[in-house]
Amino acid sequence: MHSFPKKKKGSGRARGGEGTVFESGCCETGIAYAIGEKMRSGSLKGAIFTMIIATVGGGMLSLAYGVKQIGLIPGLVLLAFSCVLSYFTNDLLLIVADNMPEGVEITFLTISNECDVSWGPKLAVFTQLTLIVQMFGAFISYLVAFGGLLDLVWRVTVNNTEVYAYVVAGAALLIIFPLSLLPNLGALRYTSFLGISCSLYLGVLIMAEYFVLCDGHEHDLDGNSIRSCFWLQNFNLPKKAFFNYTDMWSFVKSFLLCFPLFVFAYTAQQFMLPIYTELQRKSRIRMKKVLRRSSYVVFFIYACASTFGFLTFSDGVCSNILLNDFKKSPGAITAAISISVSMILTEPIITHTWRSGLVTLLWNKKPIKMSKFKHTSFTFAFVFLGMLVALFVTDIGVVFGVLGATTYPLFGFILPGTFFYKIVPADEYPVRRKLAVIQAVLVGIISLSSLVYQIYQMIDPEGNSTKCNNMQDIKTPNFFK
């Protein structure tokens, strides 16, 4: 382990350029562009707002579905625990940042390089490769999400003809691919603010529609009558709504399905480092204020969306809640269209970032100016392969679940624990050091178990865990059927 002089507070502003976006780890949805440009002043309020932007996203579409898997009470407890664990690993990264060499840009890659003389560079390559895979997964998740949403809008407003495949293929080849070829995506860099606006609107919509749609005559998937309107005297929910398991094994299975969805929703650790770098009067204490206050807001948004979404549709809630029957609500249609537009415009930024990371990995240097042929070929291959996967895996819950059991826990929980263990001196924070290792190991075991169980569920579905009262039935071929 290296012994480094601690970095001076306030030093180390992030550098610009195409490579910086990827190397900072801020590459999931284009939020990195906004982080670098919108909140340049680095005020405390600005950092809090940016951290909220970096956290709240498409994962909110599946939170009610996650609660459905395990029940309302344990679901909310797990949601709160995920928030606390996210805060803990963010704090680990803050301590790691304060123990990095002075003048070194603080990113996941530079931290990986400093972990160990022998395997640090290998860890950096692994981190970079994993970021590339995460980009591919994020690209697919957006294709599946907006494809399903626009297919639903078409069915509700025009006719009941399925257009999912046409939407995904058309948007990928006619909009996303041409935009991804642009050398400079400055015009799209603020789409993350459109995304957070849509996410906040979705949260308000889910709460509002609960009071509009709930009339005291709801039924579950088995046809049993339930009373989910808490303001009515006959309010009554079945036991499985609160605890959706009967024994320890059923609890484990439910836990393995909902855990990755919450991990996906709370993973923003890779966005935290550049926010910390830009913070005025930078210190761990000030940044912890940012993390605490943003965590309160994010948990409130997530708790409301998951609770009211679940109460509205009970065990019929879909993996993408907007695919449920909102009775042709203009608000739901508006949310579906606006979120879809935001996702489509974000896809070129994801492609741009993936391409930058691939060039860095292949040439082991800052992104170089590729020939037009390589530029076009890499971009087309990425978009086309992502489109193919999205045409066959049409369930956003599957995509979020797999990502939440692979790359997201790796960046959000396992790597921060590894960095802390290797870089921070062993005599500092001894208790935190043990907790960092324990949480990293446990998250790794749970994530691997979840991935295995999810694959089993895709091959041999059981019970009502994946069923829902959806407004559409996409017949696109699915390898897992």
Dihedral angle sign, alpha carbons of residues 209, 212, 215, 217: negative
Angle at 475 between CA 473 and CA 478, to 5 degrees: 115
CB 220 within 8 A of CB 315: yes
Q: Which residues of the chain have pLDDT under 50?
A: 1-41, 477-481
Report the distance separating Cα 330 and Cα 158, nearest Å.
14
Long-range contacts, stretch 451-456, CB < 8 angstroms, 24+ apart: 451/260, 451/402, 451/405, 451/406, 453/253, 453/256, 453/257, 454/256, 454/257, 454/260, 454/398, 454/401, 454/402, 454/405
Cα of 160 vs its chain's centroid, Å: 31
Q: Which fold has domain 18-459?
A: Amino acid/polyamine transporter I (1.20.1740)
Tokens of 252: 């484990």
Report the distance separating Cα 2 and Cα 53, nearest Å.
35
Tokens of 22: 């990827």
Question: What pLDDT does 365 receive?
Answer: 56
Q: How far does the chain reach from its first CA to its final CA, in angstroms?
A: 49
Count how many Cα atoms sit within 13 Å of the Cα of residue 179 in the half-sphere of its side chain.
19
Dihedral angle sign, alpha carbons of residues 376, 381, 382, 388: positive
Domain locations in the chain?
A: 18-459
CB 14 within 8 A of CB 273: no
Question: What pLDDT does 440 receive?
Answer: 94
* pTM for the model: 0.80
Residue 315 CA: distances (Å) to CA of 213, 222, 242, 312, 324: 16, 9, 11, 9, 11
Backbone angles phi, psi at 192, to 5 degrees: -65, -30
DSSP per-residue letters across 372-400: HHHHHHHHHHHHHHHHHHHHH---HHHHH
Report the distance separating Cα 422 and Cα 430, nearest Å.
13
Question: What pLDDT does 289 receive?
Answer: 93
Question: What pLDDT does 451 receive?
Answer: 93
User: 125-143: buried (b, 16+ CB within 10 Å) or exposed (e) per residue?
Assistant: eebbebbbebbbbbbbbbb
